[in-house]
Amino acid sequence: MTESAAHTPLVILGSARSDGNTQQCLTKVLAEIPHTVVDLRDYSVATYDYLHEYPAEDQFLHLTDLMLSHPVIVFATPVYWYSMSGRMKNFFDRLTDLVEEPHKKLGRRMAGKHVFMLATGYDEEWAEGFEVPFRRTAEYFDMHYEGSFYHSSEQPFPTEAARQFAQRINQYCQSPQ
Ligand SMILES: Cc1cc2nc3c(=O)[nH]c(=O)nc-3n(C[C@H](O)[C@H](O)[C@H](O)COP(=O)(O)O)c2cc1C
């Protein structure tokens, strides 16, 4: 999918490998839904800096533009040490730039978007609190946190849960409000 496919979900993939379990799970879940994947491995996103001094090659604002052009955002991450991946957490830290000047206006434009989360792990369930940063961050930006999907590599693929999750994502792409 190209980056310009608006009115499709934007998936932000935070795995340490581009063709790993999370990507494969994502492909299964969204098989019937046109979508755009941003693989964070392909982008330069510096760690958060209080002074907002970032290297010229930093692409966080480009990724912000992409988020702003899609009604639905799906954060896809493996569980690494009971939490989101470090790459995804780095991206979340950078969201701080959108609540500070000079980019506060961009942050306000995140309001109303629909946010989903997909995770893969080894354990049967994710650890307590795993979902909290996704839900609370969405709420902080006045986005709507719409739910999550988890697949353990040790369990059969939950086909029905995947179908329902995809259907819910699709619903917000058809009628974003
Ligand atoms: C650094 C690292 C830490 C992990 N920590 C956990 C964990 O805390 N809980 C869990 O269920 N699985 C854990 N796993 C297993 C991965 O979550 C699981 O294999 C996942 O599907 C990998 O997705 P990926 O191929 O996209 O990286 C860990 C794997 C790695 C590489």
Q: Is residue 78 part of a domain?
A: yes
List the domain range (segments joined by +) for residue 17.
Answer: 10-174
Q: Is residue 25 part of a domain?
A: yes
pLDDT at res. 177: 54
Task: Taking the CA atoms of 132, 177, 174 and 36 in sequence, report the sign of the dihedral they define.
Answer: negative
What is the per-residue pLDDT across 115-143, written as a single tens digit (0 to 9) for each? 999 999 999 999 999 999 999 999 999 99
For residue 171, the CA-to-ligand 1 centroid distance in Å is: 30
Count of domains observed in the chain: 1
What is the per-residue pLDDT across 59-86, written as a single tens digit (0 to 9) for each? 999 999 999 999 999 999 999 999 999 9
For residue 91, the CA-to-ligand 1 centroid distance in Å is: 18
| 71: Cβ contacts below 8 Å, ≥ 6 apart | 7, 113, 114, 172, 173, 176
pLDDT at res. 1: 43
* CA 20 to ligand 1: nearest atom: 25
* Predicted model pTM: 0.96
Q: 51-70 burial string, b = 16+ CB within 10 Å, else e?
A: eeebeeebbbeebbebbeeb
Q: Is residue 4 part of a domain?
A: no
Looking at residue 170, its amino acid is: N
Q: Percentage of the chain with pLDDT > 90?
A: 93
Q: Is the pLDDT score of 3 beyond 50? A: no
Q: Is residue 1 part of a domain?
A: no
In this structure, are strands 144-152 and 114-121 parallel, antiparallel, or unpaired? parallel
Q: Is residue 5 part of a domain?
A: no
Q: Is residue 143 part of a domain?
A: yes
Q: Is residue 101 part of a domain?
A: yes
Q: Is residue 82 part of a domain?
A: yes
Comparing CA positions, the residue from 8, 7, 6, 158 lying closest to residue 148 is 158
Look over the chain and give the mean of its residue pLDDT values, rounded to a whole number: 95
CATH of the domain at 55: 3.40.50.360
What is the per-residue pLDDT across 13-41, written as a single tens digit (0 to 9) for each? 999 999 999 999 999 999 999 999 999 99
Mutation choice for ligand 1 from 80, 85, 88, CB with most ligand atoms inside 8 A: 80
